[in-house]
Structure 1
Amino acid sequence: MPSHVYLDESIRTTYLIVMILIGDKNLARTRKSVRNFAKKNRKNLHMFHATPGFKNKVLNEVMGYDYEIVIIEDLNFRYRKYLSRQICLRSAFEYAAQMDVDRIVLDRSSSQEKDLITYKKSSRKFPSLPENLHHIASRQEPLLWLPDIFAWSYGAGGLWREKIDHKISHIIRV
């Protein structure tokens, strides 16, 4: 079944990108459920700013959704800071090329041009990738909140990481 990929990054002592692969048939239902978490007067959800109680509520809810989680982690981040995003994206694109993916979406950022260059190089190597890479503001696409939720939880470690460990399909270390 074709799927869409949503990616977000987290920077702590390592750099990581979280990929969420959602099947086409689950997109609308999952988007609607995730949108319900946006607090009144807020247009998006970021775990960094949430209270522990709210974080628990969000994690308990999203753990029941049907999707695949892949984490790409650069363990050498402190030595190659500015290259880490592109290195991790290249691995994400390679992973996506092995799947039946219709669309790849990243949160809009200042690195869009570099992202597109990396994507074009990857799509030449892996022609099964979708034709275009999409950068969308997370306030416009609630499904971008999912990789943020898991990136924060994984990066926070401890009990937060334990809560999501069983849902992670793959961890790719570069």
Structure 2
Amino acid sequence: MQAFVDENTVRGIMVAAAIADPRALGSARKVLTELRMKGQERLHFKSERDSRRREICSALVTLDVSVYIYHAATLTPKQGRPRCLELLVADLAELSATRLVLEQDDSTMKADRRVLYDAVGKHGLRDRLSYHHLRAKQEPMLWIPDAVAWCLAKGGEWPARVRPLVAKTVDVR
């Protein structure tokens, strides 16, 4: 299994991880890249019109992907992000995941690496789980957690549109 992570900080920090079997990645990436509009480098939910968001959500729920949500509503992002990542690594250990890709945010990379190094070691994954930071335009699978986290944070009609993808929700304290 491989995991692709993005976050939303609208209502406390929410870390979303799209988890997929490596055999499903090729077809998922194809669907995602075909959803881009002409001239678009990537899908970014906060920049899309509602009609496009609906179209994208309809496509996302057809993919062979599960999303795990780690929501630290009562913690600051500086407190919550490390805790969410620690819990994610524990879940990835149970899934025998081999790769973790986080959307690159230069302001969190150093702290992320420290947290991930410790968590990977704690769960005995040093030889099994690699982790990387990539820009969203480099990895279409990062567009999934971006969309799901945006929908869940936005409320209204949006959570129901991505609910079929959400396999696990963790209230992080």
Instruction: Please classify the TM superposition score into its range, dividing by the shorter chain length.
Output: over 0.9
1:93: which partner in 2? 89
> How many Å apart are 1:167 and its aligned residue?
2.6
Percent of aligned positions that are identical:
20
Helix, strand or coil at the partner of 1:90: helix
Aligned residue among 87, 101, 104 for 1:105? 101
Q: Give 1:106 shift.
A: 0.5
Could you say which residue in structure 1 is the equivalent of 2:10?
A: 12
Give structure 1 stretches of 5+ with no counterpart.
none
TM-score by length of 2: 0.93
> Which of the numbers 111, 114, 139 marks the counterpart of 1:114?
111
| Poorly superposed stretches of 4+, deviation over 6 Å | none
Matched, 1:123 2:128: no
For residues 131 and 92 of structure 1, the distance between their equivalents in structure 2, rounded to whole angstroms, comes to 12
Residue by residue over 1:33-57, the C-alpha shift from the partner in whole angstroms, topping out at 9 and shown as x without a partner, is 1111121111111110100000000
Which residue does the alignment assign to 1:27?
A: 25
Q: CA RMSD in A?
A: 1.2
Higher mean alpha-carbon deviation, 120-129 vs 31-40, is at 120-129
> Which ranges in structure 2 are unaligned for 5 or more consecutive residues?
none
Which letter does structure 2 place at the counterpart of 1:19? A
Q: Is the deviation greater in 158-167 or in 124-133?
A: 124-133
Shift, 1:131, TM fit? 4.2
Please identify, of 121-130 and 108-117, the stretch whose mean Cα deviation from structure 2 is larger: 121-130
Q: Secondary structure of 2:95's partner? A: coil
